[in-house]
Structure 1
Amino acid sequence: MTDELTVGQVAARFGVTVRTLHHYDAIGLVRPSERGWNGYRLYTPADVQRLARVVLLRRLEMPLADIAEALDEPAVLAALLVEHREAVMARRDELDALVDAIDTALTSEATMSKYQISSAEMKEIFGTGYDEAYDVEAQQRWGGTEEFAESRRRAKSYDKATWHRIKAESDEVLAAFARAMRDGAAPGSAQADAAVQAHRDQIERWFNPVPLPMLRGMGAMYSTDPRFAQTYDDVEPGLAAYVTEVIAAYCDSRG
């Protein structure tokens, strides 16, 4: 028996990918410092403790460069955390002001409160990509979240022309994923990450914020739910699995 852990065991313990651990190793952030009898590199308890701090700081959205600079310097790390908190608070104030401005704009537009698109019109626009059952399932899965409430509130304000625009943007997002796959863009590459970012941006532009855990869950659903998988695979065979993989890599590199 040993207290040392393999790369795979550490990845499972912290909920990160082996690719992420290899990246941390390559940049000298956290390196497994022992080797087993079979030559496999092993993490000691001290390595694991160091990694735990890195994972925590990444989940606080602290850049890797800052973590690498300050991880072994408690005073420097504390100062960076203070700066990071101030930046996050400033960002929150800006977002709160933006939400207030949007709410004001919504209440001032009378037409937004008078029009509600019908299920028939949604089917006309989205075809097989729309099913009334999705609304029920979304309510069951995310009904208690702020993101769901925001999405519902904003969706009720859109007229038919806006939904056509959303559909066109969604088609372009799918096309960008398909191009990346055909070009052989590896998960984590610039082209693959750009496709994921466009997908995330489109949802946030029209519906609700998409934090990384939500994005990761959505990515998994695209290949595990047969209906979503079919939507992607109809564009390009194998696209659903590819989208799940590139979204996971995108999330890993950011937290």
Structure 2
Amino acid sequence: MTVGEAANLVGVSVRTLHHWEQIGLLVPAARSSAGYRLYGPADIERIHQILVYRETGMALADIAQLLGETESGVAPATLTPSSATAHLARQRKLLTDRIARLQEMVSAVDTMMEKKKMGIQLTPEEQVEIFGKDWKPEWQDEARERWDDPEVWSQYADRTAKLTKDDYRRITAEIKAMEAQLGEAKRNGVQPGTERANQLAELHRASLDQWFDVPYARQILLARMYTQDPQFAKHYNDIEPDLTPWLLQIVEANARAHGVDTENVEW
């Protein structure tokens, strides 16, 4: 077959086969009457041998030595059955060693990922102490299952990893103060779309944005989720009756004021 056909068959580039010929690693078995390279079955077998050794990370010069290449660049004869078996056994050993190394690397990466996704660096007891008796440490795992967004969780892990116990106390106090302002505004009849309502919507967005990026569309989707999730709805409605739907209204009105089409929002 031609060099192009051989390259397509084994999944390498024509340029690669040309390079291997230049360094004497793979010299095609024949040439056509027009001088074009022609690759036979033995050449294809040799290409596969080279690819296996390359997969182990071996240098081309070492591969050439293993395959019995001569300095003149003339390819050796086809391997005998016994020598072919020896080559395959050597290749298998190299590949299994490489698999073992890669498995070790995967385990190391898994460990790093597990640490990165831990998020809140507090014990369950400390979480309840800071966030209140109603806090459930398993909520974090439930949220990860519900919203499987790698980018968001990466941001969350990076930002929470830097927080100390005192930071969490401060943030919790700020959130409670913000929620108290929401309840007071609802109680006093503040209407969605007014300046005060928009200020509170921005305050709410900022409280979320400290954990991960929260553009207006994402804030809308979160506020809608509050109205659909019994636990979230109860949390806000315990502060002030019907605070949950009111919060959604001020969030959507503020987003519209910033040019967001609230009928078509994406996470």
Give the letter for the 2:193 counterpart: G
Quote the Cα distance in structure 1 between the aligned partners of 2:134 and 2:225: 15
Quote the Cα distance in structure 1 between the aligned partners of 2:207 and 2:219: 12
Give the letter for the 1:243 counterpart: L
SS of the residue 1:132 aligns to: coil
Superposition deviation, residue 189 in structure 1: 0.8
Match of 1:121 in 2: 126
* TM-score, scaled relative to structure 1: 0.51
Quote the Cα distance in structure 2 between the aligned partners of 1:151 and 1:221: 19
Give the letter for the 2:214 counterpart: V
Give the letter for the 1:170 counterpart: I
Quote the Cα distance in structure 2 between the aligned partners of 1:248 and 1:199: 12
More relative contact order, 1 or 2 (CA 8 Å, 6+ apart): 1
Would you say the 8 A contact 2:227–2:245 is kept in 1? yes
Quote the Cα distance in structure 1 between the aligned partners of 2:216 and 2:257: 11
Match of 2:168 in 1: 163
Would you say the 8 A contact 1:129–1:231 is kept in 2? no
Match of 1:177 in 2: 182
Match of 2:204 in 1: 199
Q: Which of 218, 227, 243 is the aligned partner of 1:223?
A: 227
List runs of 5+ in structure 2 lacking aligned partners.
Answer: 1-119, 261-267
SS of the residue 1:171 aligns to: helix
Taking a change above 3 Å as real, the CA distance of residues 185 and 252 of structure 1, as seen in their structure-2 partners, is same
Aligned residues: 140
Taking a change above 3 Å as real, the CA distance of residues 251 and 129 of structure 1, as seen in their structure-2 partners, is farther
Match of 1:142 in 2: 147
Would you say the 8 A contact 2:128–2:137 is kept in 1? no
Q: Which has the higher helix share?
A: 1
Superposition deviation, residue 128 in structure 1: 4.4
Superposition deviation, residue 218 in structure 1: 0.8
Superposition deviation, residue 159 in structure 1: 1.2
Give the letter for the 1:154 counterpart: R
Runs of 4+ that moved beyond 6 A: none
Quote the Cα distance in structure 1 between the aligned partners of 2:151 and 2:215: 12
What's the Cα RMSD here? 1.8
* TM-score, scaled relative to structure 2: 0.49
Quote the Cα distance in structure 1 between the aligned partners of 2:149 and 2:207: 22
Taking a change above 3 Å as real, the CA distance of residues 186 and 241 of structure 1, as seen in their structure-2 partners, is same
Does 2:249 match 1:238?
Answer: no
Quote the Cα distance in structure 1 between the aligned partners of 2:133 and 2:228: 18
Quote the Cα distance in structure 2 between the aligned partners of 1:170 and 1:183: 20
Would you say the 8 A contact 1:219–1:247 is kept in 2? yes
Quote the Cα distance in structure 1 between the aligned partners of 2:137 and 2:176: 20
Give the letter for the 2:157 counterpart: R
Q: Map 1:1-40; keep pairs closer than 5 Å.
A: none
Does 2:251 match 1:247?
Answer: yes
Quote the Cα distance in structure 1 between the aligned partners of 2:229 and 2:172: 21
Match of 1:25 in 2: none
Would you say the 8 A contact 1:143–1:149 is kept in 2? no
Match of 1:85 in 2: none
Q: Which of 151, 156, 170 is the aligned partner of 2:156?
A: 151
Aligned residues: percent identity? 29
